């Protein structure tokens, strides 16, 4: 029975849907029963599980992998040190006020696939997205607005980035 069944799983990343295509209609109906009754195991379902144990194990394994793949999201935190006054998100614009006179406006093309959290203390910008390349490009664009100065510690950096600051040489350390 396993050899006669042809199964196709199609993952749509844009809409986050999982499409399954099964050649055998009887098997499709029994799998639908199995999926809907998976939470509440029914006694009528037990003979089906016993007869197709290998197939169900493989199907569940593939289904769980695809669902985990659809639910993964990547996040980046950008920390702002001593230069930041206010940040605002208006429609598809992220406005960051740096210093007294500098306003930086970043236009975000796909705001629907991105979640932006601005902290209340205005020292952290948290970005979350399912598309890793889009997220890294946007976060590097934001971070490179004001690179961190290694002497004063003023600027933007990632939260997991290790920065070695230069020590100030004073008269006490010269002697």
Whether 62 is in a domain gets the answer: yes
Using CA atoms, how far apart are residues 158 and 126, in angstroms rounded to an integer?
Answer: 10
Whether residue 55 is found in the same domain as residue 109: no
Bridging pattern class, strands 17-22 and 7-12: antiparallel
Contact yes or no for 138/74 (Cβ under 8 A): no
Secondary structure element (H or E) that encloses residue 56, with its range = helix 53-71
State the residue range of the domain holding 65: 7-71
Whether residue 78 is found in the same domain as residue 149: yes
Through-space distance between the first and last CA atoms of the chain, rounded to whole angstroms: 86
Q: Please tell me the predicted confidence (pLDDT) of residue 89.
A: 87
β-bridge partners, 12: 17
Task: Write out pLDDT tens, residues 58-89.
Answer: 766 776 666 665 567 788 988 888 776 678 88
Structural domain total, the chain: 2
Q: Please tell me the predicted confidence (pLDDT) of residue 39.
A: 40
Whether residue 87 is found in the same domain as residue 151: yes
Q: Residue 42 pLDDT more than 50?
A: no
CA 96 to chain centre: 23
Between 169 and 130, the higher pLDDT residue: 130
Q: Please tell me the predicted confidence (pLDDT) of residue 51.
A: 54
Q: Please tell me the predicted confidence (pLDDT) of residue 111.
A: 85
- 47, with CB counted inside 10 A (0-12, 13-18, 19+), is exposed
Q: Please tell me the predicted confidence (pLDDT) of residue 40.
A: 44
The whole-model pTM stands at 0.55
């Amino acid at each position: 029975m396993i050899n006669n069944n042809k199964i196709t799983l199609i993952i749509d990343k844009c809409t986050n849907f999982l499409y399954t295509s099964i050649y055998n209609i009887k098997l499709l109906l029994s799998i639908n029963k199995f999926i809907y009754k998976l939470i509440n195991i029914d006694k009528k379902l037990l003979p089906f599980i016993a007869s197709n144990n290998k197939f169900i194990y493989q199907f569940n394994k593939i289904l769980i992998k695809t669902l985990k793949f659809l639910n993964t999201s990547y996040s980046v935190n950008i920390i702002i040190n001593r230069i930041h006054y206010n940040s605002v998100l208006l429609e598809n614009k992220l406005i960051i006020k740096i210093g007294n006179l500098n306003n930086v406006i970043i236009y975000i093309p796909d705001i629907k696939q991105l979640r932006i959290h601005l902290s209340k203390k205005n020292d952290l910008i948290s970005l979350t997205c399912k598309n890793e390349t889009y997220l890294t490009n946007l976060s590097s664009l934001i971070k490179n607005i004001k690179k961190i100065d290694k002497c004063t510690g003023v600027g933007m950096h990632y939260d997991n980035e290790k920065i070695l600051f230069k020590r100030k040489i004073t008269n006490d350390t010269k002697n």
